[in-house]
Amino acid sequence: MSTVSEKTQTLANFINGQWVKSKTDKYEDVPNPATGETLARVPVSTKEDLEDAVKAAKKAYKTWSKTAVPQRARILFKYHQLLINEWDELAKLITIENGKNFAEAYGEVQRGIECVEFAAGAPTLMMGNQLPDIATNIESGMYRYPLGVVGGITPFNFPMMVPCWMFPLAIAAGNTFILKPSERTPLLANRLAELLVEAGLPEGVFNIVHGAHDIVNGILEHPDIPAVSFVGSQPVAEYVYKTGTANGKRVQALAGAKNHTIVLEDADLDSAANNIFNAAFGSAGERCMACSVVVAVDSIADELVKKLVEKSDSIKMGDGLQDGIFLGPVIRDAHKEKTLGYIESGIEEGATLVRDGRKDKSLSEGGYFVGPTIFENVTTDMKIWKEEIFAPVLSVIRVKDLDEAIELTNKSDFANGACLFTDSAKAIRKFREEIDAGMLGINLGVPAPMAFFPFSGYKKSFYGDLHANGRDGIEFYTRKKMVTQRHAY
């Protein structure tokens, strides 16, 4: 049950450098998923709120886009330092509103900081190129410019890292930005804005409009927003991509996942089990790079499953701020109920439940907990294989060899990540060449690329062509002007 205390804050939007009360009369409670205690109330803002943010961002664009690129970068350097100073506090806030344990939250802050580091390289990233002699006395050059007001729509599972995939690079490139954070984890976003003010970012360059689908639709329809970055579930990503592009916008929409991990006979099984365990159940399975299916060759499958079950029995579940907690809650009671529904469906469809996370006891009262759950004998016609569960539920499928494992993995509609545990160079090369997924891991569990590389999912895990981060990110947030010039001599 959520309880509203006197300390419960009502969140404001951040528009034109000011904290502004939304014009809405609708608010949603934001509970701490580990306790159910209400942390804040988030406004379900209106399109009028969005309009105010767009006006501010459009006005700020006039001067920000002309601000010297090294000057924009200097503000990001300052921001970088402020984020480092606040590291613990930011991580605490992530744990409180998202539920992942403090160490995981700490790692997420690091990932966010790395994005700011990358974006601070704007003077190099923004460079164009020239060819002095494309014809006699004629030269040609490419210059890179920002787009205008960019919209960013983010999910609950990485309240810091995912917004940081977007706004640091977008503003470094000279755009202004409107963030619509997840209404389930809106607190961290506001802290990011406070620190941007401290770093000296001019008003209107970064804005936050809290809310739900009305704001998303407002962003997708708005004639003054030429580009939208989205990260979230597959159906919403597809909708955002189709609607945004139909309205003439540049859209990158990163979507859901079902990541397979193949384990061969020659793998170091202890290392495989440790890595798979962390990848499947870390952050309560609520990672787009979570391992949700293990594809194990017959000869080692029994031993691997035994190790995974033993590890599952050894961890503590509870409030991620407490020492020694490995597994935090899932994000909401409704998500817990949905997860229990998937577990029921796995049983009904004939999978073998070898570890039942429904029976685990949490060390925290009132939260939304599901323990590590493992199914064996899963087949590709089952709902638990086809759909993203996004919770601590792992499916195990046995195969005879790498060929069969690759064929099975490639059947998935999703293509974010895939991992392989082996000692064989030949198997590694075959996996790299034949696996139909965008981010591959060899002998590790979560192959999420760093900020200077693109986050490269495809199939139903990504809609668009330019991915988040890396050179793709700078391409996404800029447009090019070609100048061809004749000289008299």
Q: 479 among the known binding-site residues?
A: no
Q: Please pick, from the candidates 54, 288, 297, 435, the single residue that binds ligand NAD as defined by CB under 6 A.
A: 288
Return the number of the residue (307 or 467) whose C-beta is nearest ligand NAD: 467
Task: Report, as residue numbers or ranges, the catalytic residues.
Answer: 288
157 makes contact with ligand NAD (CB under 6 A)? yes
Q: Please pick, from the candidates 13, 412, 461, 478, the single residue that binds ligand NAD as defined by CB under 6 A.
A: 461
292 makes contact with ligand NAD (CB under 6 A)? no
Q: Please pick, from the candidates 98, 154, 175, 229, the single residue that binds ligand NAD as defined by CB under 6 A.
A: 154
Shortest separation between residue 56's beta carbon and ligand NAD, angstroms? 20
Return the number of the residue (385 or 390) whose C-beta is nearest ligand NAD: 390
Site string for ligand NAD, 360-399 (x = CB under 6 A): ----------------------------x-x---------
Q: Please pick, from the candidates 47, 72, 144, 180, the single residue that binds ligand NAD as defined by CB under 6 A.
A: 180
Tokens of 23: 């014009």
Applying CB under 6 A, the span of 79-87, 149-157, 191-199, 404-412 interacting with ligand NAD comes to 149-157
277 makes contact with ligand NAD (CB under 6 A)? no
Return the number of the residue (298 or 337) whose C-beta is nearest ligand NAD: 337
Say how far apart CA 380 and CA 387 lie, in whole Å.
10
Spell out the SS3 assignment of the chain.
CCCCCCCCEECCEEECCEEECCCCCCEEEEECCCCCCEEEEEECCCHHHHHHHHHHHHHHHHHHCCCCHHHHHHHHHHHHHHHHHCHHHHHHHHHHHHCCCHHHHHHHHHHHHHHHHHHCCHHHHCCCEEEEEEECCEEEEEEEEECCEEEEECCCCCCCHHHHHHHHHHHHCCCEEEEECCCCCCHHHHHHHHHHHHHCCCCCCEEECCCCHHHHHHHHHCCCCCEEEEECCHHHHHHHHHHHHHCCCEEEEECCCCEEEEECCCCCHHHHHHHHHHHHHHHHHCCCCCEEEEEEEHHHHHHHHHHHHHHHHHCCECCCCCCCCCECCCCCHHHHHHHHHHHHHHHHCCCEEEECHHHCCCCCCCCCCCCCEEEECCCCCCHHHHCCCCCCEEEEEEECCHHHHHHHHHCCCEECEEEEECCCHHHHHHHHHHCCCCEEEECCCCCCCCCCCCECCEECCEECCCCECHHHHHHHCEEEEEEEEECCC
Q: Please pick, from the candidates 31, 33, 232, 320, the single residue that binds ligand NAD as defined by CB under 6 A.
A: 232
162 makes contact with ligand NAD (CB under 6 A)? yes
Site string for ligand NAD, 399-418 (x = CB under 6 A): -----------------x--
Applying CB under 6 A, the span of 179-187, 188-196, 374-382, 477-485 interacting with ligand NAD comes to 179-187
Say how far apart CA 209 and CA 202 lie, in whole Å.
17
Q: Please pick, from the candidates 14, 64, 156, 326, the single residue that binds ligand NAD as defined by CB under 6 A.
A: 156
213 makes contact with ligand NAD (CB under 6 A)? yes
272 makes contact with ligand NAD (CB under 6 A)? no
Start-to-end CA distance of the chain, whole Å, equals 79
Shortest separation between residue 215's beta carbon and ligand NAD, angstroms? 8
Q: 453 among the known binding-site residues?
A: no
Q: How many chain residues touch ligand NAD (CB under 6 A)? A: 28
Q: 407 among the known binding-site residues?
A: no
Q: Please pick, from the candidates 42, 201, 231, 396, the single residue that binds ligand NAD as defined by CB under 6 A.
A: 231
225 makes contact with ligand NAD (CB under 6 A)? no
Select from 231, 238, 254 the least CA-distant residue to 458. 254
Shortest separation between residue 155's beta carbon and ligand NAD, angstroms? 3
Shortest separation between residue 40's beta carbon and ligand NAD, angstroms? 16
Say how far apart CA 122 and CA 168 lie, in whole Å.
10
Instruction: Decide: 238 and 116 in contact? Cβ < 8 Å.
Output: no
Kind of pairing, strands 176-180 and 149-153? Answer: parallel
Applying CB under 6 A, the span of 249-257, 303-311, 314-322, 432-440 interacting with ligand NAD comes to 249-257
Residue least distant from ligand NAD (Cβ): 232
Return the number of the residue (288 or 291) whose C-beta is nearest ligand NAD: 288
Kind of pairing, strands 27-31 and 38-43? Answer: antiparallel
Shortest separation between residue 384's beta carbon and ligand NAD, angstroms? 15
Return the number of the residue (362 or 461) whose C-beta is nearest ligand NAD: 461
Max Cα distance, the chain (Å): 83
What are the residues binding ligand NAD (CB under 6 A)? 153-158, 162, 180, 182-183, 212-213, 216, 231-233, 236, 254-257, 288, 388, 390, 416, 455, 457, 461
Q: Binding site membership for NAD(+): which residues? A: 156, 180, 183-184, 388
